[in-house]
Amino acid sequence: MITGASRGIGAACASSFAAAGYAVCVNYQAAQQAAEDVVGSIRSNGGKAIAVQGDVSVPEQVDALFKRCDQELGTLDILVNNAGISSPRSRVEDLPLDALHHIININVIGLIHCSQHAIRRMSTHRGGRGGAIINISSGSAYIGNPHEGVHYAVSKGAVNSFTIGLSQEVASEGIRVNTVSPGLTRTDMPNPAKLEEMAPRIPMGRIGEAQEIAEAVLWLASEQASYVAGANIRVAGGRP
């Protein structure tokens, strides 16, 4: 299951996992047609996928999302917690509290709720066969995003801390929990003007592509990363 998989990094992850032989649950919040397009592309290449609506900040919708995945795809092996928002862009003093609650509900609480569902299905202590949870964080957690997105950076800092704690909590239950922290990546989330401005400042001299992030996620889910837990892989073209 990949949350927020209708576009960008989530869509790239969906395609990569399908190509590796996984049946994929493409979760989306509102962009149904985009999600169906991702599923259609996977199926046209011989893969198996379903698109399932669900706002990760709404508990009942998360419950329904996992139930449908169980019914149509069977046992959950991998969860990629990709769903997230960064708007509105604002200085801290001007940030409406309802906007702060919204970003925390999606980026942190929703991610934790999805992880709870995954643990209940994967844990060998509960009769599961193990699995992997990969959280998508951001370099913003290190940089802080002053003047426009401190709240977003805070939410991703929480994701990093959650990975550290949860990875130790469930490692003996056959579940590996890791994080990928992308740098500036060509998706519809960053401000396009910022992408062009920042590209020359990145050590590699360019913006990352969603597929490059997906490759790191896929590796963490694979047996090649069987001894990796609690890691936070920075995929950012050399930028700290």
Q: Where in the sequence is the domain holding 201, given as residue range(s)?
A: 8-235
Alpha helices by DSSP H, listed for 123-234, are 140-143, 150-170, 192-198, 210-221
Tell me whether residue 188 is in a domain. Answer: yes
The sign of the CA dihedral 197, 203, 207, 210 is negative
pLDDT for the residue numbered 189 = 74
Tell me whether residue 214 is in a domain. Answer: yes
Count of the separate structural domains present in the chain: 1
> Strand, coil or helix: what is 36?
helix
Tell me whether residue 230 is in a domain. Answer: yes
Pairwise CA distance, residues 113 & 111, whole Å? 5
Tell me whether residue 52 is in a domain. Answer: yes
CB atoms inside a 10 Å sphere around CB 70 = 14
The residue annotated as part of the active site, out of 28, 142, 152, 227, is: 152
Q: Pick the closest to residue 208 from 181, 230, 231 (CA basis).
A: 181
pLDDT for the residue numbered 198 = 85
Strand partners, 179: 135, 232
pLDDT for the residue numbered 197 = 85
CATH number, domain containing residue 185: 3.40.50.720
pLDDT for the residue numbered 195 = 80
Tell me whether residue 240 is in a domain. Answer: no
Cα-to-chain-centroid distance, residue 5:
8
- Give catalytic status of residue 152 as yes or no: yes
Which residues have C-beta within 8 Å of that of residue 105, sequence separation ≥ 6? 57
Give the CA count within 13 Å in the CB-facing half-sphere of 87: 5
Strand partners, 176: 132
> Which stretches in the chain have pLDDT values below 50?
none
Tell me whether residue 191 is in a domain. Answer: yes
Tell me whether residue 99 is in a domain. Answer: yes
Written as one string, the DSSP assignment of 93-152 is: GG--HHHHHHHHIIIIIIHHHHHHHHHHHH-GGGT---EEEEEE--THHHH--TTT-HHH
pLDDT for the residue numbered 194 = 75
Pairwise CA distance, residues 133 & 177, whole Å? 5
Tell me whether residue 190 is in a domain. Answer: yes
